[in-house]
Amino acid sequence: MTDAADLPALINLDDLAREAARRLPTPALDYYRSGARDESTLQDNRAAFGRWRLRPRVLVDVSQRDPATTVLGQPVRLPLLVAPTAFQSMAWPQGELATARACARAGTVMTLSTLSTWPMEAVVEAWRGAGGPENGGAIWFQLYVYKDRDLCRALVERAHAAGCRALVVTVDAPILGTRERDVRNRFRLPDSLNIADLLDAAGMAGEAVRRGSPTGSQLADFVYQVLDPALTWADIAWLRSISPLPIVLKGVLRADDARRAVDVGCAGILVSNHGGRQLDGAIAALDALPEVVAAVDGQAEVYMDGGLRRGTDLLKALALGAQAAFIGRPMVWGLSVAGEAGVTHVLGLLRAELDEAMALCGCPTVADIGPDLLCR
Ligand SMILES: Cc1cc2nc3c(=O)[nH]c(=O)nc-3n(C[C@H](O)[C@H](O)[C@H](O)COP(=O)(O)O)c2cc1C
């Protein structure tokens, strides 16, 4: 059986996760699935969706349904976007190129990690070649702020020139949260792969992630070497001043931080605890969403990620005020099972589940999804 031929039997995201676990070598699987320390936040991200119940409306004409919306003024065919995940070629040789093509065909946003194994220009080209511009959606570029600010500026300029449409600045990783599975496995990037966008700029790329490791995880060492733990709001204001692209701040979990993000000019706020991979014990992303939505009060768009695995989860996030929500690991599982076809399958499953949830809740459009649909 070919990889894509396996897909119809995988009828939900848990099936895909199990199939990916069967296929991936342990260090890669553990890198993708792990959370920080006891993984309590990883589990709570998922559990938070179960703490809400739905109050469906009846006798609404739902014969025509449309999940389309906009993010940062850009049309998307569904309110589900793809979060940045590093090192996608460990899952599938074409890695980020395959993800970009699937997102182009689905008409949604792919957020490209700074730690991509393919150069951003090639990823945008793959997205264009697969009909991205016609279908809606976009490539957004995720930036970690490096100690070397010239490198940051160069990456921002490259992202703009390549055709990326937003800068997603991740601020919950001043250091790397310890994923103990990676420590045990002495996680390292396979020899054949590199951090493509840092190759020329920093002369370090994959080598730095492969060097001898005092902490046990070479990724952790790499982060200690190049990311700036001294980052503050002033640096976000600086980025805002040099970036022609709108900024989405990723990793906000509090109302006061959300207000400051608006004050420094961020166009979007992504409520996220990095999929439970940074501070173990941090609040579940869905639980943090309402206070951020209230604090921002419509002055920026608010998104969330973490633990979303069902169409009803997506509907709950929208009901709590998210403009859209992201998936991280499910996209990696799809990629691991069947590359582009696998990511397409994941997006298709969630699209169908959202459609079902909208029909059964009496919501023909995304605009009909509101907080009245939820109770504890
Ligand atoms: C394997 C993996 C790699 C990730 N790499 C990045 C990254 O490079 N940059 C970033 O901002 N977030 C990264 N994240 C966090 C995701 O963008 C996202 O916040 C998280 O995966 C959402 O939770 P979910 O996996 O439960 O959907 C990564 C997550 C995973 C699982």
Provide the CATH number for the domain around residue 199.
3.20.20.70
Contact 143, 240 (CB under 8 A): no
Q: Give me the pLDDT at residue 211, please.
A: 62
Q: What residues contact 78, with CB distance under 8 A and at least 6 apart?
A: 67, 68, 69, 106, 107, 108, 347, 350, 351, 354
Task: Please check whether residue 63 lies inside any domain of the structure.
Answer: no
Residue 40 domain-assigned (yes or no): yes
State mean pLDDT over 155-181.
97
Mean pLDDT of 4-29: 97
Residue 255: inside a domain, yes or no? yes
Note the pLDDT of residue 103.
98
Checking if the pLDDT of 205 tops 70, the result is: no
Residue 368 counted as domain residue: no
Number of domains in the chain: 1
72 belongs to a structural domain: yes
At 199 the pLDDT is: 64
Which residues are designated catalytic? 274
Q: How far apart are CA 143 and CA 184, in angstroms?
A: 28
The range of the structural domain enclosing residue 217 comes to 4-53+68-363
pLDDT of residue 223: 78
Q: Do the domain assignments include residue 248?
A: yes
209: pLDDT confidence band, cut at 50, 70 and 90?
low
370 within domain boundaries:
no
Q: Which residues line ligand 1 (CB under 6 A)?
A: 31-32, 45, 83-86, 113, 115, 142, 170, 250, 272, 274-275, 277, 305-308, 327-329, 332
Which residue lies with its CA nearest to atom 8 of ligand 1?
A: 86
The rounded Å distance from CA 57 to ligand 1 centre is 34
357 inside domain: yes
